[in-house]
Amino acid sequence: MAKKTPYILVSNDDGFFSNGIKALARLAAEFGRVVVIAPDREQSAVGHAVTIHEPLRANRVKVVDDIEGFAVTGTPADCVKLAHDQLLEEKPDLVLSGINHGSNAGINLLYSGTVSAATEGTVLGYPSIAVSCTDFDNSADLSGCLDAARLMISQVLESGLPKGITLNINAPAGPFKGLKWSKMADSRYVEEYEGRQDPFKRPYFWLTGKFELLDDSPDADIQLLRQGFATVTPIQYDLTHYLMLEEMKSKTES
Amino acid sequence: MAKKTPYILVSNDDGFFSNGIKALARLAAEFGRVVVIAPDREQSAVGHAVTIHEPLRANRVKVVDDIEGFAVTGTPADCVKLAHDQLLEEKPDLVLSGINHGSNAGINLLYSGTVSAATEGTVLGYPSIAVSCTDFDNSADLSGCLDAARLMISQVLESGLPKGITLNINAPAGPFKGLKWSKMADSRYVEEYEGRQDPFKRPYFWLTGKFELLDDSPDADIQLLRQGFATVTPIQYDLTHYLMLEEMKSKTES
């Protein structure tokens, strides 16, 4: 019996004008029917924000080739929620987010709109994958990202993903050495703000931030990316630290 | 030898005009010196967003009693980053966020600005606690939340918290039955948007959302809150799903 053609939702946080979303939509079209539902403007670093105090609008747009979609006046998480509840023709077989122009490895995960779109897909029960290129340049060579994504998309369409788990792919620009399973590297930003004075002598602060890697595990995503590999990290939205929970329960409930 | 007086940073996502932040600042003042650094307007549901495309300003404000602080033109995560890098007189012994007017149990955690302020404190290396009242009313009785927070603050100032772990406290309005250690309940929102038409017959969508509990574990935060308990959930910012990581590594690297 022929398999149903997969129906694939593509979103991102850079908006419709990025090369990354066009490349990912074209890749998705190799696998099935594609609809792109993404923010109508850049929404980087919005994390898992959702819009609650104003309504959303969704306008039909042509994306690339004959792929169409909706530009939504909200965040990446809004896009996936609104897609699921109102805009999709049927339940999607896969949610893809990206390709982000800029790394979503290590602590960047927390702030990432790209990853939040995929996480929202997982919360709603769909297999979901985020894809990012470590190069910020909008014209970076995305061929490696596409190869890594192609591999994981085909595995996930074949076998699905365990409940509650999202895949987070990062790859360098251009070719890479191989795709490695990885953990989110412990890391943080230091010396974050540059203070300035406005013409009226009042201070204001620009976020700049020097990235600091605190993790020397051989399977940390950032380590592997620096060595020229692409990485795929299984992430979860259940934030409970079960080890501490069990310890505290056994101390307090004995 | 007398212990140093603790220095405590208080933030939130509801801004300076909420009763919750005033109550939490007063509670903190029972334990040490307090500075309040919080958004200058409501920033609910912003998740872990940070401001990267415009500068931040921080204006000195008087909060309550003789407690002072800064109103920041950014998100809760911005506030804690800017506090750490520019505004605090010294490293804080504790970061508190809240008291939020509205539950941050279950899936609400993902979207919560209140929790993201505490998580950012943890990322920066400080013991951090988020506190929320399940009642949305700004005039709700916060006495129970304050009792639960008082207990955990005194434990954390005494013994610290393991690296990478944040405490997330939720309590009902008024008195509660007891404080229980809990997990983040698996849950989601369904039937999320109400579609309307503007006077020009164009559609727009309001987020409404019916909450759905998918978790019957006896230690799920939402279950316990419904039974009248207050809850404290240890949460982590490392999102790696280690079980799947180990499985995939053993499959692909043998």
For residue A48, what pLDDT band results from cuts at 50, 70 and 90? confident
Q: Which helix (H) or strand (E) holds B221?
A: helix B221-226
pLDDT tens-digit series, residues B110-147: 999 999 999 999 999 999 999 999 999 999 999 999 99
Annotate chain A with three-state secondary structure: CCCCCCEEEEECCCCCCCHHHHHHHHHHHCCCEEEEEEECCCCCCCCCCCCCCCCECEEEEEEECCEEEEEECCCHHHHHHHHHHHHCCCCCCEEEEEEEECCCCCCHHHHCHHHHHHHHHHHCCCCEEEEEECCCCCCCCCHHHHHHHHHHHHHHHHHCCCCCEEEEEEECCCCCCCEEECECCCEEEECCEEEEECCCCCEEEEECCEEEECCCCCCEHHHHHHCCCEEEEEEECCCECHHHHHHHHHHHCC
* Residue B106 contacts residue B222 (beta carbons within 8 Å): yes
* Residue B192 domain flag: no
Distance from CA of A71 to the nearest CA of B (A): 13
pLDDT tens-digit series, residues A211-252: 999 999 999 999 999 999 999 999 999 999 999 999 999 988
CA nearest to A156, candidates A229, A109, A95, A230: A95
Residues 6+ apart with CB under 8 A from B33: B5, B6, B7, B8
Domain that holds residue A174: 7-184+217-252
Residue A44, pLDDT > 90, answer no
CA nearest to B127, candidates B98, B159, B171: B159
**B204–A237 CB contact, under 8 Å:** no
Q: In whole angstroms, what is the distance from residue B5 CA to residue B158 CA?
A: 12
**B219–A191 CB contact, under 8 Å:** no
Strands (E), B88-236: 94-101, 128-133, 165-171, 179-181, 187-190, 193-197, 203-207, 210-213, 230-236
**A206–B57 CB contact, under 8 Å:** no
Average pLDDT score over chain A: 94
Distance from CA of B35 to the nearest CA of A (A): 19
Q: What is the DSSP letter of B65?
A: T
Q: Is B128 on the interface with A (CB under 8 A)?
A: no
Residue A204, pLDDT > 70, answer yes
* Residue A226 domain flag: yes
Dig out the tokens for B117 from the structure: 């302020």
pLDDT tens-digit series, residues B18-73: 999 999 999 999 999 999 999 998 887 788 888 888 899 999 999 999 999 999 99
Residues counted in chain B: 254
Q: Across the interface, which of B46, B57, B182 has its CB nearest the CB of A204?
A: B57
Query: How crowded is residue B172: how many other Cβ atoms within 10 Å of its Cβ?
Result: 23
Q: In whole angstroms, what is the distance from residue A24 CA to residue A40 CA?
A: 17
**A183–B245 CB contact, under 8 Å:** yes
Which residue matches tokens 């509205």?
B102
* Residue B2 domain flag: no
Query: How crowded is residue A164: how many other Cβ atoms within 10 Å of its Cβ?
Result: 17
Residues of chain A contacting B249 with CB distance shorter than 8 Å: 181, 219
Helix (H, G, I), strand (E, B) or coil at B225: helix
Helix (H, G, I), strand (E, B) or coil at B162: coil
* Residue A69 domain flag: yes
Q: Across the interface, which of B51, B162, B182 has its CB nearest the CB of A207?
A: B51
Q: Please, which residues 60-79 of chain B have a Cβ atom closer than 8 Å to chain A?
A: 77-78
| β-bridge mates for residue A37, sequence order | A70
Helix (H, G, I), strand (E, B) or coil at B197: strand
Question: Which chain B residue has the Cα nearest residue A109?
Answer: B239
Distance from CA of A175 to the nearest CA of B (A): 20
* Residue A105 domain flag: yes
Peptide bond into A37 cis (omega under 30): no
* Residue A1 domain flag: no
Distance from CA of A165 to the nearest CA of B (A): 7
Q: Is A49 on the interface with B (CB under 8 A)?
A: yes
Mean pLDDT of B194-214: 92
* Residue B161 contacts residue B196 (beta carbons within 8 Å): no
C-alpha dihedral sign at A141, A143, A148, A149: positive
Task: Report the CATH number at residue B244.
Answer: 3.40.1210.10
Question: Which chain A residue has the Cα nearest residue B116?
Answer: A110
**A237–B110 CB contact, under 8 Å:** yes
* Residue B77 domain flag: yes
Task: Give CA separation, A168 vs A149, A184, B187, B241, in Å.
Answer: 10, 9, 22, 11
Residue A70, pLDDT > 70, answer yes
* Residue A212 domain flag: no
Q: Is B109 on the interface with A (CB under 8 A)?
A: yes
Could you give the percent of chain A with pLDDT greater than 90?
86
Domains of chain A: total: 1
**B86–A195 CB contact, under 8 Å:** yes
Q: Please, which residues 170-229 of chain A have a Cβ atom closer than 8 Å to chain B?
A: 181-184, 186, 188-189, 191-193, 195-196, 202-207, 219
